[in-house]
């Protein structure tokens, strides 16, 4: 059972009397009559979703009630297993709805999504706080030794039990009421934080009305700013905003230091202007409520509560890791400061480098040092070739074959569909959807229209995986030509796809990518290591017109430029990750003075004055309103894993070493969430990951 779909619906609506056996014109209520039982996209209409969801809620509610009503003593087989397999219709329709709503949405789907969201969350609460159900789960957990469970079943039981306890199911009535109140208050504060931040971001504009104030800016940046002004009815002027795509180019290219300072100050003071949109008191309240909530649930701090279910396990481990990378990155950042300061003096400047100067001098030094820009490499990264390259890597590592199939159902003409096989046996289906369009949200991601698992009788259900990107589209005269970063993104998402395709678990709740946030990027980020390997490049990075393989000197430039400015990039990221940990390792509720708290936290780590944390407290959306509290470290944590794991290949002298690949598949990709992540990693590598490889990759340490 998917945890997100673990829901129950009270306001039932019966669907005009038809049983599942009869043929219904709602495709979700029939067995899919398509190759590999793919969703019949051409037949699915928006009007089919809500009735199927409602029926799905009803079915699961009944299934859960049957479990509770069972007069026998609770066992794994009469409680946990039927819970895992409950809500199948809900999973079936949700598996189609959410990926479609991201990749090919419209007003109707968005409206349905809004209606669904409170229904789902109410049911989460109703099930997670259902005492009769919890008592059965608790009983099974207390008697687990008598049930002869497999390792996977033990993990499913443990996950289920903990998820109840962590939601407050074990509390007495009075504390449950307190918890509900805290939850409500916190969710309101989070929404308020987000609204303030949006208003602060949109409320600031740098308006330029004299041409000389545009000094240094490239034509493209100027015309974007003119278009922005026009859209704001300020025709003839130029407007820069605090949105990254508008602000960053200004900081990179404007030679007007006073204006860079003005714009960047607008940015780093967001939410900290002592006005009606100020976020400081909101943050202080959220931080305090999180501590109270953790105490109620029996944890010392909010970080202790969150990290228990992550690979890192506890806050000490996270701060220790971050501290080690910090110690390596700070000296590199200081050297970067020195070389920028030298350039300032060389140009006759008489000032000290400040945070608003960083992007500008980085850009200058990069040009001087590497003479590289994206347009030089694009012709070698034609999208079909890049996909050939990633299929080639998967074939060398895991013997997978990818055969394009034109005959399978698709939800949009841009989608390319591949049947994935190994030794002529069907493994799954991979759908790839690469180009931007208005119905698709930004970014890149990987999901599944059906996850791998076994059905209740143990029969294998093969996955239908989807990867979605917003890559440079083809034009009338040219095919899609990618930047090297876009090529990496394809390999990255393909890594998530392999994690889904090679999953081999029994229970749906622990299959595929159902792993903690600080582990899930290992399978994806490791794939990025193959993109620029010469052995791989010579297979796919061919000039789209001449077929010539990308020249070695260009590859060398790409490699070196990739390590450039990593002191700054690492330090500004880590400063935010450490700030996150400082807030969430507090153990006593206190009235925080946010400015003072942040200042002290950064002094504790001796952050240099030339760098601001990537996010200051008052605009750190990740931790106050989007689920990353005590989790912002995950990105670099996973980099420690992928860098170390790729070393396992490198050390053999063969980046396609079959034995290492087999072990990676056996211990990590096929295991999904059936084991503890650290145990999986050690089973693969023979030891815990070290940070050496990460430091070398980022150029923070010399080989
Ligand atoms: Zn990812």
Distance of CA 516 to the CA centre of its chain: 11
Q: What is the reported pTM?
A: 0.87
Give 216's Cβ-side CA count (13 Å radius): 16
SS3 label, residue 418: strand
Query: Higher model confidence: residue 152 or residue 224?
Result: 152
Interval between CA 93 and ligand 1 midpoint (Å) = 24
Q: How far is the CA of 416 from the centre of ligand 1 (A)?
A: 21
The token pair at 595 is: 């400015």
Q: How confident is the model at residue 191 (pLDDT cuts 50, 70, 90)?
A: confident
Residue 4 has pLDDT above 70, yes or no: no
Return d(Cα 101, Cα 107) in angstroms, integer: 10
Whether pLDDT at 18 is above 70: no
Check residue 574 and give its pLDDT: 97
How many angstroms separate the alpha carbon of residue 523 from the centre of ligand 1? 8
Per residue in 233-282, pLDDT (tens digit) is 999 999 999 987 789 889 999 999 999 999 999 999 999 999 999 999 99
* Interatomic CA distance for residues 434 and 482, integer angstroms: 11
pLDDT score recorded for residue 540: 97
Are the CB atoms for 60 and 86 separated by under 8 Å?
A: yes
Q: What's the gap in Å between 414 CA and the centre of ligand 1?
A: 22
CA 40 to centroid of ligand 1, rounded, Å: 28
Distance in angstroms (rounded) separating the CA atoms of residues 673 and 685: 18
The two structure tokens encoding residue 573 = 């990221």
What's the 487 CA to ligand 1 centre distance in angstroms? Answer: 14
Cα(496) to centroid(ligand 1), Å: 7
| Mean pLDDT across 689-696 | 90
Query: How far is the C-alpha of 361 from the C-alpha of 576, rounded, in Å?
Result: 23
What are the pLDDT digits (tens) for 499-545? 999 999 999 999 999 999 899 999 999 999 999 999 999 999 999 99
Mean pLDDT of the chain: 92
- What is the Å distance from ligand 1's center to 544 Cα? 28
Q: How far apart are CA 57 and CA 10, in angstroms?
A: 8
DSSP 689: P
Q: Which chain residues have CB less than 5 Å from ligand 1, an ion?
A: 524
Rounded CA separation 566/529 (Å): 17
Give the residues across from 208 on adjacent strands: 238
479: which 2 tokens? 């095919």
Calpha distance 591→560 (Å, rounded): 47
Cα(520) to centroid(ligand 1), Å: 7
Check residue 10 and give its pLDDT.
Answer: 27
Report CA(466)–ligand 1 centroid distance (Å).
13
**209 burial level (CB within 10 Å; 0-12, 13-18, 19+):** exposed
Tell me the three state secondary structure of residue 673.
Answer: coil
Q: pLDDT tens, 366-394?
A: 888 888 877 888 899 999 999 999 999 99
468 CB-side CA count, 13 A = 21
Give the C-alpha separation, 287 to 582, whole Å: 11
Centre of ligand 1 from the C-alpha of residue 495, in Å: 8
With contact defined as beta carbons under 8 Å apart, do 608 and 333 qualify? yes
CA of 640 to the centre of ligand 1 (A): 15
Residue 438: band (very low, low, confident or very high) from pLDDT cuts 50, 70, 90: confident
The answer to whether 243 touches 201, Cβ cutoff 8 Å, is yes
Catalytic residue list:
493
Q: Which of 14-18, 157-161, 440-444, 667-671 has the lowest mean pLDDT?
A: 14-18
**510-529 per-residue burial string, b: 16 or more CB within 10 A, e: under 16:** bbbbbbbbbbbbbbbbbbbb
- pLDDT computed for residue 23 by the predictor: 62
Tens digit of each residue's pLDDT (9 = 90 or more) over 482-498: 988 899 999 999 999 99
What's residue 118's pLDDT? 74
Q: How far is the CA of 512 from the centre of ligand 1 (A)?
A: 14
Smallest Cα–Cα separation from 550: which of 495, 490, 481? 481
The continuous run of DSSP H or E covering 303 comes out as helix 302-307
Tokens (6 digits) for 682:
């050690």
- CA separation, residue 369 to residues 373, 418, 703 (Å): 12, 42, 21
Question: Residue 473 Cα, ligand 1 centroid: separation in angstroms?
Answer: 21
Q: What percent of the chain has pLDDT over 70?
A: 97
246 closest CA partner among 261, 230, 268, 228: 228
* Cβ–Cβ < 8 Å for 667, 683: yes
pLDDT at 9 over 70: no
Q: List pLDDT tens digits, range 608-644.
A: 999 999 999 999 998 998 778 999 999 899 999 999 9
Name the helix (H) or strand (E) containing 420: strand 416-422
- What percentage of the chain has pLDDT greater than the value 90? 79
Task: Report the pLDDT averaged over residues 586-600.
Answer: 96
Nearest CA to 577 among 518, 653, 652? Answer: 518
Q: Give phi and psi for 694, each to the nearest 5.
A: -60, -45
Q: Which residues pair with 447 in a beta bridge?
A: 466
């Amino acid at each position: 059972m998917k945890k997100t779909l673990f829901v129950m619906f009270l306001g039932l609506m019966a669907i005009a009397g038809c049983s599942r056996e009869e043929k219904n014109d709602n495709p979700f209520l029939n067995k899919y009559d398509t190759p590999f039982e793919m969703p019949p996209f051409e037949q699915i209409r928006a009007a089919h979703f809500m009735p199927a969801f409602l029926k799905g809620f009803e079915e699961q509610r009944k299934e859960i009630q049957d479990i509770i009503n069972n007069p026998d003593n609770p066992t794994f087989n009469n409680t946990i297993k039927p819970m895992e397999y409950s809500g199948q219709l809900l999973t079936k329709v949700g598996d189609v709805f959410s990926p479609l709503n991201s990749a090919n949405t419209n007003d109707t789907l968005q409206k349905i999504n809004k209606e669904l969201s409170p229904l789902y969350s109410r049911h989460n609460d109703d099930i997670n706080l259902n005492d009769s159900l919890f008592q059965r789960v608790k009983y099974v957990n207390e008697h687990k030794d008598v049930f002869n469970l497999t390792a996977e079943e033990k993990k499913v039981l443990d996950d289920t039990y903990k998820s109840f306890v962590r939601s407050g199911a074990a509390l007495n009535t009075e504390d449950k009421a307190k918890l509900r109140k805290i939850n409500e208050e916190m969710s309101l504060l989070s929404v308020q934080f987000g609204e303030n931040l949006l208003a602060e971001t949109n409320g600031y504009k740098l308006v330029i009305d004299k041409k000389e104030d545009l000094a240094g800016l490239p034509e493209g940046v100027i015309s974007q700013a003119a278009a922005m002004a026009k859209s704001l009815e300020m025709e003839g002027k130029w407007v820069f905003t605090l949105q990254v795509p508008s602000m960053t180019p200004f900081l990179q290219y404007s030679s007007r230091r006073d204006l860079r300072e003005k714009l960047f100050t607008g940015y780093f003071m967001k939410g900290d202007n002592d006005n009606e949109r100020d976020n400081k008191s909101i943050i202080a309240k959220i931080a305090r409520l999180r501590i109270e909530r953790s105490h109620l649930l029996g944890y010392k701090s909010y970080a202790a509560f969150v990290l228990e279910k992550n690979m890192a396990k506890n806050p000490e481990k996270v701060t220790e890791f971050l501290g080690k990378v910090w110690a390596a990155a700070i000296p590199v950042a200081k050297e970067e400061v020195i070389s920028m300061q030298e350039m300032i003096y060389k140009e006759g400047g008489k000032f000290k480098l400040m945070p608003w100067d960083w992007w500008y001098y980085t850009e200058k030094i990069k040009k001087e040092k590497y003479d590289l820009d994206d347009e030089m490499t694009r012709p070698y990264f034609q999208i079909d070739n890049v996909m050939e390259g990633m299929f080639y890597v998967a074939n060398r590592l895991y013997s997978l074959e990818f055969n394009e199939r034109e005959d399978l159902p698709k939800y949009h003409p841009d989608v390319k569909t591949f049947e994935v096989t190994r030794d002529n046996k069907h493994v799954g289906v991979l759908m790839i959807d690469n180009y931007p369009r208005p119905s698709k949200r930004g970014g890149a991601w990987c999901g599944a229209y059906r996850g791998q698992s076994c059905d209740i009788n143990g029969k294998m259900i093969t996955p239908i995986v989807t990867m979605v990107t917003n890559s440079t589209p083809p034009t009338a005269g040219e095919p899609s030509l990618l930047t090297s970063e876009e090529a990496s993104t394809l390999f990255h998402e393909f890594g998530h796809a392999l994690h889904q395709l090679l999953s081999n678990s029994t229970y749906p709740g622990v299959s595929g990518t159902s792993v903690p946030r600080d582990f899930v990027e290992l399978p994806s980020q490791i794939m990025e290591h193959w993109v620029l390997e010469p052995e791989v490049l010579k297979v796919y990075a061919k000039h789209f017109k001449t077929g010539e393989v990308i020249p070695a000197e260009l590859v060398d430039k790409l490699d070196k430029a990739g390590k450039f400015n990593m002191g700054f990039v690492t330090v500004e990221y880590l400063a935010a990750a450490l700030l996150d940990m400082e807030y969430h390792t507090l153990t006593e509720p206190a009235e925080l003075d946010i400015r003072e708290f942040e200042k002290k936290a950064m002094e504790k780590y001796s952050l240099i004055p030339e760098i601001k944390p990537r996010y200051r407290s008052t605009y750190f959306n990740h931790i106050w309103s989007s689920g990353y509290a005590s989790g912002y470290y995950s990105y670099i944590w996973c980099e420690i894993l992928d860098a170390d794991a790729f070393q396992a290949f490198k050390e053999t002298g063969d980046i396609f070493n079959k034995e290492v690949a087999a072990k990676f598949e056996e211990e990590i990709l096929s295991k999904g969430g059936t084991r503890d992540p650290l145990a999986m990693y050690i089973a693969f590598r023979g030891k815990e990951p070290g940070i050496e490889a990460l430091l070398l990759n980022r150029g923070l340490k010399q080989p």
